[in-house]
Amino acid sequence: MTASPPEIVAGLLLVFGLPGYALTKATFPEWRVRGPDALLRVVEIGTLSLVLSVGVTILVGFVLGNLPGGLFQAGWSDPLLEAVLAAIAAVALVVAVLRGAFAQTPPVGPASEPSPGEEDPMTLVRTLEATDREIRRLRHQLRTLPSGDPARTSLEAQLEQAQRRSQDLRAGREAQYAQ
C-alpha cells in the first residue's frame, strides 16, 4: 500500500516538525525571530523542534508499541501514531497560545541570575592588574623613601588598603565559585 503525497507531507511534518515546534513555543514563548539575533533564534527553534519531534515520536512509538493486546501496528495503515502526535502538537499549541507565544508583544522571559564568572571576567582581571600595579608602585616608593620621611606612614596605609582590596576581590570571586 502506497501513501499519497499529502499523506507523506503530513506524516513528515508530524514526525519531524510540528510536535517539536509546538513544544518549543510552549516552553519558550518569549523567543522571537526578530532583531539582531533572528538568525540564531531560527537555528535554535529549528534544531530544538527537530530534536523534540523525533524524541516525542520515539517515546510515543515506544509507548504505543508496548500497549497490551497489539493495538498498535507500525505501518501506514494504522493512523494511531499520527493521531497521538497531532494531539500532542494541538495541546502544546494551545499552551503556547495561552502563554503568549504568538502575541504581538512577547511575554517577559524568566529572570536569569548570572552564574559566577559570567558578568565580565575581563573587568575583574583589569581591576586586579591595576591593584597589583598600585601595590608594586607603593612598595617601590617605600623602598626608595628614607626611613624617617613623614610620607612613609601615608604610603604604608595606602599599600595596606591596596593589598586588602586585592584580597577582597580575590576572596569574593572564590566565594562566588564556591556557591
Does the pLDDT at position 73 exceed 80?
Answer: no
Supply the pLDDT for residue 179: 62
Higher pLDDT, 162 or 8: 162
pLDDT tens-digit profile of 124-133?
A: 788 888 999 9
Higher pLDDT, 74 or 7: 7
Does the pLDDT at position 107 exceed 80?
Answer: no
Does the pLDDT at position 38 exceed 70?
Answer: yes
DSSP helix/strand/coil, 145:
coil
Cα 88 to Cα 178: distance, rounded to the nearest angstrom: 42
Confidence category of residue 118, pLDDT binned at 50, 70, 90:
low
Confidence category of residue 161, pLDDT binned at 50, 70, 90:
very high
Confidence category of residue 5, pLDDT binned at 50, 70, 90:
confident
Cα 61 to Cα 100: distance, rounded to the nearest angstrom: 30
Confidence category of residue 116, pLDDT binned at 50, 70, 90:
low
Query: What is the residue-averaged pLDDT of the chain?
Result: 82
Does the pLDDT at position 94 exceed 90?
Answer: yes
Cα 159 to Cα 141: distance, rounded to the nearest angstrom: 10
Supply the pLDDT for residue 120: 66
Supply the pLDDT for residue 1: 59
Cα 53 to Cα 12: distance, rounded to the nearest angstrom: 10
Cα 152 to Cα 139: distance, rounded to the nearest angstrom: 11
Higher pLDDT, 52 or 107: 52
Confidence category of residue 95, pLDDT binned at 50, 70, 90:
very high
